């Protein structure tokens, strides 16, 4: 054990207890732990897992750790040892990879640490959570990208007395960019903030030869993490601290001395975490500096940390999105829609297309940098909820988020309103059936107008809703055929569940619980709304492009579909230019191998058997019949129009918190997502079962079988192959 060797060598190390890798193994090897986790992880090939699915797998795996207790004899032994050693003093529970193991498999902060935990029972609970962090999404992704086995699992846990240091940091015995240098970073308070990237450190570069400071890079000092009533809390620094670095020169040289001592003990430059308490520098953790270039790894750190946002970070993200970005997007879209495109000359239109392309690209960037991370509000809440409530269903928390108004639901409400009108008015219906736009049924036209005004700018695959009235009317007619409105799952329990959740916290932590729930609801709502705002901007880009396309076509020049904005702009500027195809669809050949049972993610409860309708473009809307199973590559939020009609949903993209899952839960429709190649494997007309409990899609038979001239018989019984999984 690294720390005991350091202590033996005379370094100051906080008092602690180590739970070895053997303790982890003993827990992990229990019946029902290891195999449950590996079954979860091996449902799909690693390369088919999107990060959202990895988060889902990690979320369910974490629930295994939360629900399976430490074996009784082991628990009792540890409890006694911890009580004797720490009593009710606050401790830190942190992961500690064995030295020989850590070369590549981890870095500071990859796995979770819990600071300021009191009482042996609570410590043991947190030990399980540290073990679980070996399977967190960022740990799994990190191992996946490094080409390490994702199921590699071995971890020691250190329980140390909490040193409430006045300043803390990390230090590298050798610098990433120059082997003749070392690096020290320091922040006020605990080093949690530095390790997680939420507090920016002061940074010193040390000449390894002389131990002299060769460069100093001060930080903009604002906050420090300090022990709170439980865990840590961010506190603003006072004026004096903002003005001066956390370490003076003497402090820097004591930290450097310690780094060199650790290097002597282990025989190679070390990556250490340290804290200063009562004037003394303590070493908290030591690992060898990895062989890879540190600079590269620092970038990666940032990337992996982006996968889990802190509460404070999410709060400021929410403010920025709600108060700055969304209003600005709305203004931008409104400003663009007021431009009279048809009055522009070709050159000006080309300029306008170019400008809108840049605006759209900008917002796509914001979407990825800010809106997508905002989804972590839901993830963070899910994690805390499960920790507090320990529910059987790891997605129980979603029930608490659902009753928030979403824009797509508002749009669907307008659609249903139209359908109600058609249902109650035979004249209106027969006019629509004859393909006429209704005349004086003023109510109908008014609601239709409202729908188009509010959502007409939305696009899907380059087609704007406002240009698709025929499809909308076809949809409304189908909705009108539906006898009763589909019952939404009851929200009855949501309120009492929320109260139960808040009551699971100590009184002084309950405001945090409420605020977290509020944040999660905002995150849930924004993840839907942001797509609609972005859709509006894309709609404006498309409007300009389609104006351009019309003009080019009028000159008798062909434009490949879908039109590329850059190509259209070029053709407008240069009358001799012929637009090229930028992307081509991949053809899927009919093979001798037919998938029969495909594993995805259970994303909406329920089971349904029906006919598949593969939806690849807006025109499929008019063909969609009630009860068919909607199969798509990516369920665009703007496609949720279809969902009211669908008997079930199958999607290639996977995740419990993406649109198909959200909408399926809203409507209570069976949904399986994360089905690799769903839209190309499954054909329109296939007879399929969507099992939204187990997350599988069964292809009983369909177009291909019938096409072969072979009689499939009732229920497609005569298939030659079936991919029945082993065991069940």
Partner 1 sequence: MVGDNTERQIRRMLTGQRVGVLATSQEGSPHVCLIAFAATPDLSRIVFATSRSTRKYANIIRDAGVTLLVDDRANREEDFHRAAAVTAHGTAREIAGEGEGERRLFLEKHPYLGDFVASPTCALFEIQVQRYFLVSRFQNVVEFKVPR
Q: Which residues bind partner 1 (CB under 8 A)?
A: 31-32, 35-36, 39, 597, 607, 609, 689, 691, 693-694, 696, 698, 700, 715, 717, 722, 724, 726-728
CB of 728 to partner 1, least distance (A): 6
When the beta carbons of 115 and 612 are compared against partner 1, the nearer one is: 612
Label residues 263-281 b or e (16+ Cβ within 10 Å = b): bebbeebbbbbbbbbeeeb
Query: Own/partner pairs for 646-649, CB < 8 Å, 24+ apart?
Result: 647/608, 647/610, 647/690, 648/606, 648/608, 648/610, 648/672, 648/690, 648/692, 649/603, 649/604, 649/673, 649/690
Q: Residue 99 or residue 597: which is nearer to partner 1 going by CB?
A: 597
CB of 692 to partner 1, least distance (A): 8
State in angstroms the smallest separation of the CB of 596 from partner 1: 9
- Whether residue 489 contacts residue 400, with contact meaning beta carbons closer than 8 Å, is answered with no
Smallest separation, CB 670 to partner 1 (Å):
9
Q: By C-beta, is 274 or 397 nearer to partner 1?
A: 397
Q: Which token pair is 691?
A: 């099992």
Tell me whether residue 133 or residue 689 sits nearer to partner 1 (CB atom): 689
Least distance CB 40 / partner 1 (angstroms): 9
Q: What is the largest CA-CA distance in the chain?
A: 93
User: Which CB atom, from 277 or from 607, has the smaller least distance to partner 1?
Assistant: 607
Q: What would the two tokens of residue 24 be?
A: 């982890």
* Cβ at position 698, least distance to partner 1 in Å: 4
Residue 171: CB partners within 8 Å, gap ≥ 6?
Answer: 182, 183, 184, 185, 255, 256, 258, 259, 271, 272, 274
By beta-carbon proximity to partner 1, the closer residue of 358 and 694 is 694
420/475 Cα distance (integer angstroms) = 12
Q: CA torsion 41→47→48→52, rounded to 10°?
A: 70
Task: Provide CB contacts within 8 A for 711, sequence distance 6+.
Answer: 718
How near is the Cβ of 363 to partner 1 at its closest, in Å? 40
Q: Which is nearer to partner 1, 40 or 166 (CB)?
A: 40
Q: How many CB atoms lie within 10 A of CB 454?
A: 15
Q: Rounded to an integer, what distance in angstroms lies between the CA atom of residue 668 and that of residue 661?
A: 10
Residue 596 DSSP class: -
Nearer to partner 1, 193 or 692 (CB): 692
Nearest partner of 156 among 26, 300, 14, 297, judged by Cα: 26
Question: Cα–Cα distance between 229 and 215 in angstroms, integer?
Answer: 38
Tokens of 400: 């608490």
Least Cα distance to 459 among 333, 325, 567, 560 occurs for 333
Of 149 and 726, nearer to partner 1 (C-beta) is: 726
Measured from the CB atom, the residue of 368 and 693 that comes closer to partner 1 is 693
Cα atoms in the 13 Å half-sphere on the side-chain side of 699: 31
Minimal distance, residue 308 CB to partner 1, in Å: 25
Query: What's the chain's Rg over C-alpha atoms?
Result: 30
Closest separation in Å from C-beta 689 to partner 1: 4
Minimal distance, residue 394 CB to partner 1, in Å:
10
Quick one: 35 or 506, whose CB is closer to partner 1?
35
Q: What secondary structure does DSSP assign to 200-248, as a single string? A: PPEEEEEETTT--EEEEE-----EEEEE-SSSEEEEEPPHHHHHS-SS-
* Distance separating alpha carbons of residues 130 and 287, to the nearest angstrom: 18
Q: Between 469 and 597, name the residue whose CB sits nearer to partner 1.
A: 597
Shortest reach from residue 640's CB to partner 1, in Å: 25
CA-closest candidate to residue 385, choices 520, 280, 495, 492: 520
Residue 639 CA: distances (Å) to CA of 350, 367, 645, 681 = 30, 19, 11, 21
Q: Pick the closest to residue 282 from 415, 167, 111 (CA basis).
A: 167
User: Shortest gap between Cβ of 540 and partner 1 (angstroms)?
Assistant: 45
Residue 16 CB partners (closer than 8 Å, separation 6+): 3, 158, 159, 160, 161
Tell me how far apart the alpha carbons of residues 540 and 544 are, in angstroms, rounded to a whole number. Answer: 6
Residue 71 or 365 having the CB closest to partner 1: 71
Give the residue with the Cβ less far from partner 1, 382 or 701: 701
- Least distance between partner 1 and beta carbon 422 (Å): 35
Could you give the CA distance from residue 232 to residue 190 in angstroms, rounded to a whole number? 9
Shortest spacing between CB 135 and partner 1, in angstroms: 15
- In angstroms, how far is the first alpha carbon of the chain from the final one? 43
């Amino acid at each position: 054990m690294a720390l005991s060797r350091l202590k033996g060598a005379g370094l100051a190390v906080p008092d602690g207890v180590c739970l070895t890798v053997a303790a982890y193994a003993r827990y992990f090897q229990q019946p029902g732990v290891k195999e449950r986790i590996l079954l979860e992880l091996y449902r799909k090939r690693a390369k088919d897992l999107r990060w959202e699915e990895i988060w889902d797998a990690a979320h369910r795996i974490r629930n295994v750790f939360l629900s399976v207790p430490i074996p009784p004899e082991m628990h009792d032994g540890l409890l006694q040892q911890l009580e004797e050693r720490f009593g009710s003093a606050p401790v830190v529970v942190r992961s500690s990879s064995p030295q020989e193991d850590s070369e590549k498999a981890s870095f500071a902060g990859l796995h979770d640490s819990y600071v300021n935990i009191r009482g042996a029972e609570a410590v043991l609970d947190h030990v399980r959570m540290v073990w679980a962090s070996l399977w967190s999404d960022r740990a799994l992704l990190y191992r996946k990208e490094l080409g390490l086995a994702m199921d590699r699992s071995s971890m020691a846990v250190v329980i140390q007395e909490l040193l409430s240091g006045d300043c803390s940091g990390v230090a590298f015995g050798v610098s990433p960019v120059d082997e003749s240098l070392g690096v020290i970073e320091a922040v006020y308070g605990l080093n949690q903030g530095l390790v997680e990237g939420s507090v920016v450190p002061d940074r010193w570069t040390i000449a390894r030869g002389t131990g002299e400071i060769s460069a100093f890079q001060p930080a903009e000092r604002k906050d420090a993490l300090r022990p709170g009533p439980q865990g840590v809390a961010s506190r603003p620094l006072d004026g004096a601290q903002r003005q001066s670095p956390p370490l003076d020169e003497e402090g820097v040289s004591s930290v450097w001395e310690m780094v060199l001592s650790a290097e002597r003990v282990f025989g190679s430059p070390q990556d250490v975490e340290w804290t200063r308490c009562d004037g003394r520098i303590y070493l908290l953790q030591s690992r060898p500096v990895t062989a890879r270039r540190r600079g590269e790894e620092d970038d990666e750190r940032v990337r992996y940390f982006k996968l889990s946002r802190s509460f404070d970070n999410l709060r400021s993200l929410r403010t920025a999105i709600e108060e700055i970005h969304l209003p600005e997007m709305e203004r931008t879209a409104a400003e663009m829609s007021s431009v009279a495109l048809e009055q522009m000359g070709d050159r000006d239109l080309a300029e306008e297309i170019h400008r809108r392309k840049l605006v759209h690209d900008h917002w796509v960037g914001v979407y990825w940098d800010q809106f997508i991370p905002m989804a972590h509000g839901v993830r963070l809440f899910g994690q805390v909820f499960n920790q507090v409530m320990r529910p059987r269903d790891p997605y129980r928390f979603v029930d608490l988020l659902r009753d928030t108004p979403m824009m797509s639901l508002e749009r669907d409400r307008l659609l249903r309103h139209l359908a109600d009108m058609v249902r109650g008015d035979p004249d209106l219906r027969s006019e629509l059936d004859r393909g006429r736009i209704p005349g004086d049924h003023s109510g109908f036209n008014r609601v239709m107008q409202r729908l188009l005004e509010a959502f007409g700018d939305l696009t899907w695959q380059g087609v704007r809703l406002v240009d698709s009235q025929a499809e909308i009317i076809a949809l409304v007619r189908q909705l009108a055929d539906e006898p009763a409105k589909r019952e939404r799952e009851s929200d009855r329990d949501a309120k009492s569940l929320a109260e139960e959740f808040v009551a699971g916290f100590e009184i002084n932590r309950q405001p945090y619980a409420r605020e977290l729930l509020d944040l999660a609801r905002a995150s849930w709502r924004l993840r839907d709304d942001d797509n609609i705002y972005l859709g509006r901007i894309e709609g404006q880009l498309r409007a300009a492009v389609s104006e351009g396309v019309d003009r080019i076509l009028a000159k008798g020049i062909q434009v490949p579909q879908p039109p590329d904005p850059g190509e259209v702009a070029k053709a407008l500027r240069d009358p001799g230019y012929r637009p090229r195809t930028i992307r081509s669809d991949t053809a899927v050949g009919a093979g001798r191998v037919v998938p029969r049972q495909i594993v995805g993610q259970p994303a909406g409860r329920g089971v349904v058997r029906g006919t598949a309708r593969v939806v690849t473009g807006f025109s499929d809307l008019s063909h969609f019949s009630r009860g068919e199973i909607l199969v798509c590559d990516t369920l665009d939020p703007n496609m949720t129009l279809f969902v009211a009609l669908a008997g079930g949903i199958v999607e290639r993209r996977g995740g419990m918190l993406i649109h198909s899952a959200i909408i399926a839960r809203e409507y209570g429709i069976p949904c399986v997502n994360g089905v690799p190649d769903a839209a190309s494997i499954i054909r329109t007309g296939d007879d399929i079962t969507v099992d939204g409990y187990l997350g599988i899609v069964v292809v009983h038979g369909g177009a291909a079988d019938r096409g072969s001239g072979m009689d499939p018989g009732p229920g497609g019984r005569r298939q030659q192959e079936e991919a029945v999984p082993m065991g069940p």
